Amino acid sequence: MQQPLTRERPTGTVVAIVTFNSGDCVAALIESVASEGARPPPRVYVIDNGSTDDTLARAREYPDVNVVETGANLGYSGGINVARRFLERGEALAVLNPDLVLAPDALEKLQRAFDDPAVGIAVPLLRDPDGRVYPHLRREPTISGSLGDALFGARWPNRPRWMSDTLRHPRDYESAHDVAWAGGAALVIAPEVSERIGDWDHETYFLYSEETDYARRTRDAGFRIRFVPEAQATHIGGASGQSAPLLALMAVNRVRYFERHHGCLPSSVFRVVVALHHLLRSGDPRHRFAVRAVCSRAIWATLPPGRPRSNVTARA
């Protein structure tokens, strides 16, 4: 697909922070966004999926933050779609996990990637709280890569690339380059992509694999996903926890995504590999439940859904 030769810089940025019981971390992210100093300053929306802790109270301590109560847990993709309603023409959309803290000028550095009109999504370098690089860059899921990750996990990071769906080599995080997709904790979407690709698929992906799907749709439209290491953020991780049903949902959605793009036989093999991944970790009862979920499609319908409907109220 032919891309335009020139592109205007985004006219502004909408920051979408999808929260669910994120009161212990959301304030730090809001403050890091406020310190960006961008002109015009980003418009920040906290999209709350029915938190029962002090998330709403903490977010409302900041008068420039727009708090949106969905009235139900719409999932991550559903929350992003709510934020999309507030986009104005020409604005970029920054999707940020509540358990992040941005380094100075991270959003501005990410948007510089859009000087290349073929770049549709920009992602930063993530670090854990100890300063170590958080490996969040990904390849398109494959049977061999998923098998390598099942057998070795984070061990043997320098193994052959075909044996991992995650980019694990330290040099993969040293310079800017294109990737198939990246974990959805932090990304900025160009205005043209938001307009052309439309909503995230909340009907299929309540949580997990939604970013894999959106990145593929973006690439299929002719845009690239760009890793921008000079833009950085700290990823605390696990702000909302991961119960057994959520771990199972992550496994099942990997299978759902693969089945959407491959035939019956490779999809069956991939499903076995995903089950093996959790079987090898079955000392943890959450992984035992994930094995059962992957093997029994009857369980899939009992996992957290992606279809709740709710009225949405916004407050400045």
How far, in Å, CA of 194 to CA of 273, rounded? 34
Distances (CA, A) of 120 to 40, 88, 260: 21, 17, 23
How far, in Å, CA of 205 to CA of 212, rounded? 10
Confidence check: pLDDT of 257 > 50: yes
Confidence check: pLDDT of 132 > 90: yes
3-state SS, 95-149, equals EECCCEEECCCHHHHHHHHHHCCCEEEEEEEEECCCCCECCCEECCCCHHHHHHH
- Predicted confidence at residue 6, as pLDDT, reads 60
- Predicted confidence at residue 81, as pLDDT, reads 97
Nearest Cα neighbor of 187 from 256, 238, 114 is 114
Reported as type and span, the H/E element at residue 66 is strand 65-69
Confidence check: pLDDT of 36 > 90: no
How far, in Å, CA of 265 to CA of 271, rounded? 10
Peptide bond into 40 cis (omega under 30): yes
Q: What is the mean pLDDT of residues 34-40?
A: 80
Dihedral sign (CA 125, 128, 133, 137): negative
How far, in Å, CA of 148 to CA of 70, rounded? 39
Q: What is the mean pLDDT of residues 229-257?
A: 86
Confidence check: pLDDT of 315 > 70: no
Q: What is the pLDDT of residues 73-89, one digit of tens each?
A: 999 999 999 999 999 99
What the block records as the tokens of 309 is: 């409907």
Say which amino acid occupies 66.
N
pTM of the model: 0.90
Q: With contact defined as beta carbons under 8 Å apart, do 207 and 232 qualify?
A: no
Per DSSP, the chain holds a count of helices (H) and strands (E) of 11, 12
Q: Which CATH class is domain 12-241+308-315?
A: alpha beta
Distances (CA, A) of 84 to 47, 48, 118, 131, 310: 11, 14, 22, 32, 16
How far, in Å, CA of 57 to CA of 59, rounded? 6
Q: With contact defined as beta carbons under 8 Å apart, do 98 and 26 qualify?
A: yes
Distances (CA, A) of 227 to 17, 24, 53, 263: 20, 28, 34, 30
Residue 241, burial from CB neighbour count under 10 angstroms (0-12, 13-18, 19+): exposed
Q: What is the pLDDT of residues 180-203, one digit of tens each?
A: 999 999 999 999 999 999 999 999
